[in-house]
Structure 1
Amino acid sequence: MTNKPNSRMNQYILQYLNSIYPLSPELESFLVDKIKSCSFEKNEIISKSGEICNRLYLIKKGMVRGYFISDSTEITTWIDTENELFTSITGFFRNQKTEEYIQSLEITLCDYLENDDYKYCLEHFPEMQQINRIMMEEYYIMAEHRVYLARIPNASKRLEFFIQHMKPQILDRIPKKHLASYLAIRPETLSRLTKDMN
């Protein structure tokens, strides 16, 4: 990870949060001092299993996945791209060691907020509570989609659901082995299905 100087020009996350709910000048001033920027190289491990991830990241540019390892096999559980937040849920919100890995799939630029600063915002700025509520609603909707996806028994219909309800705009950017893992289908099956779509 490469950290960048804390500059107001780098506070991409301020625009993002303001688009969710208007920030007070006081909260904006606090965030300007606390938000940091960083970058990750392609395929860089951001967080490992057994670590506590205490940062909430917003992707400005790039792509990130979460995965766990079962019997030496990497199983992708989520994929995030521009204007999406990511962290280890158990690490960030429960201060517990995570079982998942987080990895950048492209050169990825982020803004991030440390857990202590995030909690301070929730305790001292009412608008941050509103932002948190709205973000949690969005997270649960995405989690619901992932649950639906996992329950669809047919590989073709899982791909179709992904395209219709999730992230069709990044279909060509995701490495096929990771997309196949995410959809719980064999890479050769994914290759055949995507060829049939063209």
Structure 2
Amino acid sequence: MSELFRQHIEKIVPLTDQEFALVSSFFVKKKLKKHQFLVQAGELAPYDFWVEKGLLRAYLLEENGKEQILQFAMEDWWITDYQAHFSAQPATLNVDCLEDCQVLCISQEDKDRLCAQLQKFEHFFRKKSNAGYVALQKRILSLLTDQAHERYQQFLSLYPSIIQRVPKKYIASYLGVSRETLSRLSG
């Protein structure tokens, strides 16, 4: 496994070389091409993915064909359809690659086995989940209370590198505004 992955983990829990080897044994590396799906609506989502390289998006495809982007994920981030992943139900979201990607995959079964063998990894996943809950709450509150220009400024502040890597129509979808509104905000 990559040194970047080890650094990611060690932001929360220190690992010995032996522990990192154990952790690595539970993950599978997967390479994907741009536009390839990690998760497709209607199918199961047995894996959680850590992004080693590339950029992905998680989105809902409405009946009218409109996409509602819930999340982007770039290097050092996690992504899947968590509702489907944790409940073993069919996914409601699609997760696809906006660039060629390399991800590390772990199933829920393997997460449980890893946590049973290495207690500190349960702490790691709990901290990552808590951070995700906080980020999601902030995003929902922003969508409910902030004006479009405020959401755009927050996006620029939080994710400056994504602006250069993502088509504006995807940023508009993430912010809950039209492409025309985004053009006015960014112009």
Q: How does the TM-score come out when normalised to structure 2?
A: 0.90
Distance in 1 (CA, whole Å) between partners of 2:177 and 2:114 is: 42
Deviates more, 1:148-157 or 1:78-87: 148-157
Q: Tell me the CA shift for residue 184 of structure 1.
A: 0.9
AA in 1 matched with 2:78: L
Secondary structure of the 1:132 match is helix
1:125 corresponds to which of 115, 118, 123:
118
Aligned to 2:147, which of 133, 154, 169? Answer: 154
Instruction: Give the Å deviation of 1:40.
Output: 1.4
Question: How far has the Cα of 1:119 moved from its partner?
Answer: 0.9
Give the counterpart letter for 1:69 in structure 2.
L
Aligned to 2:137: 144
Letter in 2 for 1:114: S
Q: Whole-Å Cα distance in 2 between the matches of residues 102 and 160 of structure 1? A: 25
Residue 110 of structure 1 is matched in structure 2 by 103
Q: CA RMSD in A?
A: 1.8
What is aligned with 1:101? 94
**Which residue in 1 is equivalent to 2:31?**
39
Equivalent residue number for residue 181 of structure 1: 173
Q: Percent of counterpart pairs with the same letter?
A: 22
Give CA-to-partner distance per residue, 1:93-142, whole Å, 9 cap, x none: 22121111101111111122222111111223210111012101210121
Aligned to 1:34, what secondary structure does the other structure show?
coil
Q: CA deviation at 1:39?
A: 1.4
Match of 2:58 among 58, 66, 75: 66
Where does the alignment leave 5 or more consecutive residues of structure 1 unmatched?
1-7
For the Cα contact (< 8 Å) 1:68–1:76, is it kept in 2?
yes
Name whichever of 100-109 and 90-99 sits farther off: 90-99
Judging changes above 3 Å, is the alpha-carbon distance between structure 1 residues 139 and 148 closer, same or farther for their aligned structure 2 residues? same
Mean CA deviation greater in 148-157 or 41-50? 148-157
| TM-score, with structure 1 as normaliser | 0.85
Q: Which moved more, 1:99-108 or 1:68-77?
A: 68-77
Supply the distance in 1 between the matched residues of 2:143 and 2:19 (Cα, whole angstroms).
39
